[in-house]
A and B are shown apart, each in its own frame.
Chain A
Amino acid sequence: MSNPLLSIRDLHVGLPHRRRTDEIVRGVSIDVAPGEKLGIVGESGSGKTLTMLAVVRLLATPPLAVLKGEVMLDGEDLLKVDERRLRAVRGGEIAMVYQDPMSSLNPLLHIGSQIEEALRAHGASSDDAKRRTREVLQQVGLADPERVRTSYPHQLSGGMIQRVMIAMALSTSPRVLIADEPTTALDVTIQRQILELVTSLQAETGMAVLWVTHDLGVVASLVDQVVVMYAGRIVEKASTHRLFERPSHPYTAALLESLPGLGTAHRSALHQIGGTPPDPTRLSAGCPFRLRCSYAIEKCAHEEPELIDRGDGSAAACWRDPAQW
């Protein structure tokens, strides 16, 4: 792998209280190279969104806070840069598409002025911003970009808003795109279209993409590398191909089993993982997945496994060797 463009190192995010601190993200490290597509997969509450928000310092602080760690963009620690530099990075070098797009646009401003605002904040002239706005709205497959540009958010459908959000993020040609569940409200054809758009832009500009999702199906078709998160930690990191072929963590294996596939018999029940994800602020000793794990052993109750390299580009945090499952 070439030098990482964005490197999250040992990131800890939590809720500091007077006497104790609840950790929600517990030591996450992720590297992304230019042009790389990385998927971040996990159930709700696994800490994937918080990790991404921490990258551009958009955590709701207080109550949340980065407790420890570094976020290096091309060798510069974003957690330490001043406000001015941070503003240049946000939207300019790292753009985000947020969960819940319907509430992510200012309800009182035109779509056009909101996209133009992003462009102008990063040095575009008024005319250029207008032209570029039309261009990106067209690129994300909106049928009538001119109408969308002059519309208010409440006049558009959920799918249109989601495409607007993606257009806004892509408008400044960022070096890193962080997309948090960006296609959940879109139907499959539009999803496909967006994924293709991002892929083609990536080829053009060498943009790195972090695709946060709970949908392994999206991951399979889009990304090169996958990071699987559980209870605030990375439990498995592997190339997409490797992950689907031979998962090294029981949680990943269970996620894959619950995917509906072509081979799944009609009307047969989908596999589901028993139990619920643990409250990350109330973890006891040991592996947080052990209570839902079919392969747990005595050791899992006492000691939490570290993320260990398994060779051939895969790492997993599990005491058991998949060969012994």
Chain B
Amino acid sequence: MNKILAIGRRILSVLVTLWGVSVIIFVVLRLLPGNAVTAAMGVSEGLLTHAQVAALNRYYGVGQPAVQQYLSWLHATITGNLGISLSSRMAVSTLVGTALPVTLELAFFAMLLGLLIGVGFGMFSALHPGRWQDDLGQTVSVVGLAVPSFILGTVLVVFMSTKFHYFPSSLGFIGFFTDPWLNFQQIIFPALVLSLGIGAAILRTTRAAVLEVSGLNFARTALGKGVSRKAFIWRHLFLNALTAVVTMSGIQLGYLLGGTVIIEQIFILPGMGRLLITAINNRDFPVVQSVTLIFAAGFVIVNMLVDVAYSLIDPRTRKR
């Protein structure tokens, strides 16, 4: 009973957060100069008469009071209708349906590589503090944090295409189920670029947390029991550092959703980021609103998963 209550409360808080996000998105978009009609129909060029503009405004509901616009959007969104893109005339759900898997795949590989780099080098560093292994880890983390992904991405694209004449993206994006190997080649480089910053952050967190834990009394107890080095490192040090690592991974995964916007642009991947940029340029409100809301939902879900992970790792957070 208690458990059901806790889950219910959690879901409610997610919904409230998303509602807040929807209000912010809506308000911010209305504050932008121009509207869907002026952006899409070329009013600025004076191609339409005032009467025509007014008719279009009425047709798209642009002239309605903001509250009414918001409520009708909210109602449609809740019932699963994301609306029609104003620029491409396609259902937003269709656009999102093709873009979201690309971004999710990119985020998945970036996170996977980031975790490998971060936890791998982080443990390597922490277990040899002050030695060359530690210097290596620190170098990786400084480089990873200092080099912006758009520079690394651009360099990588230019280098790969001019030096190796390697253009995995030139065919247009290939879905995983069409040709997994080609799809992998298209995804792996942008994922690698994104993973470096993530890995650097996770590396630092892992190193600091493991070093802290290894100075605690229970680490000494574990050694004093004569447990194997493997058990000592993973059951005692890493397990206790894990909450910190999970927290940092969650934050990075949240940022990652935003980070894909730039990387998708550089690597010409038709993901959510490109969809969003194009939509903003066209004042394509239904698309912008939906994509932003989905990014926000992703962030909220990641945070929720992090909370769930805490309670799985640490028994002290379970009973409340």
Binding site for B on A (CB under 8 A): 56, 58, 60, 83, 86-92, 95-96, 98, 100, 103-109, 117-118, 121-122, 152, 154, 165, 168
CB neighbours of A98 from chain B (8 A): 217, 220-221, 224
Contact yes or no, B221 A109, CB < 8 A: no
CB neighbours of A109 from chain B (8 A): 235, 239
Whether, in the assembled complex, B135 has its beta carbon less than 8 Å from a beta carbon of chain A, the answer is: no
Whether, in the assembled complex, B313 has its beta carbon less than 8 Å from a beta carbon of chain A, the answer is: yes
CB neighbours of B313 from chain A (8 A): 108
For the complex, what is the distance from the CA of A117 to the CA of B224, rounded to whole Å?
12
CB neighbours of B216 from chain A (8 A): 103
For the complex, what is the distance from the CA of A83 to the CA of B313, rounded to whole Å?
30
Whether, in the assembled complex, B39 has its beta carbon less than 8 Å from a beta carbon of chain A, the answer is: no
With A108-B239, A108-B314, A154-B315 already in contact, the answer to whether A87 and B228 are too (CB < 8 A) is yes
A119 to chain B, nearest CB (A): 9
For the complex, what is the distance from the CA of A89 to the CA of B236, rounded to whole Å?
20
CB neighbours of A100 from chain B (8 A): 217
CB neighbours of A104 from chain B (8 A): 217-218, 220-221
With A98-B217, A117-B231 already in contact, the answer to whether A106 and B236 are too (CB < 8 A) is yes
B314 to chain A, nearest CB (A): 6
Chain B's interface size range is 20 to 34
Chain B residues 294-320 with CB under 8 Å of chain A are 313-316
Binding site for A on B (CB under 8 A): 215-218, 220-229, 231, 235-236, 239-240, 313-316
Query: DSSP majority for the B interface?
Result: helix
With A106-B236, A107-B240, A154-B316 already in contact, the answer to whether A90 and B226 are too (CB < 8 A) is yes
Out of B218, B228, B235, name the residue touching A105 (CB < 8 Å).
Answer: B218
Contact yes or no, B225 A106, CB < 8 A: no
Contact yes or no, A90 B316, CB < 8 A: no
A-B CB contact pairs (8 Å), 27 listed? A58-B220, A60-B215, A83-B229, A87-B226, A87-B227, A88-B226, A90-B223, A90-B225, A91-B224, A91-B225, A91-B227, A92-B226, A96-B224, A100-B217, A104-B217, A104-B221, A107-B218, A107-B314, A108-B239, A108-B315, A117-B227, A117-B235, A118-B225, A118-B227, A121-B231, A154-B316, A165-B221
Pick the 3 closest A-B CB pairs, nearest first. Answer: A91-B226, A90-B226, A91-B225
For the complex, what is the distance from the CA of A56 to the CA of B225, rounded to whole Å?
10
Contact yes or no, A122 B226, CB < 8 A: yes
Out of A107, A108, A121, name the residue touching B225 (CB < 8 Å).
Answer: A121
Contact yes or no, A152 B236, CB < 8 A: no
Additional A-B contact list (5), CB under 8 Å, known A89-B226, A108-B240: A91-B227, A103-B216, A104-B217, A104-B221, A117-B227
For the complex, what is the distance from the CA of A122 to the CA of B225, rounded to whole Å?
9
Out of A86, A91, A106, A117, name the residue touching B240 (CB < 8 Å).
Answer: A106
CB neighbours of A122 from chain B (8 A): 226
Contact yes or no, A58 B224, CB < 8 A: yes
B236 to chain A, nearest CB (A): 6
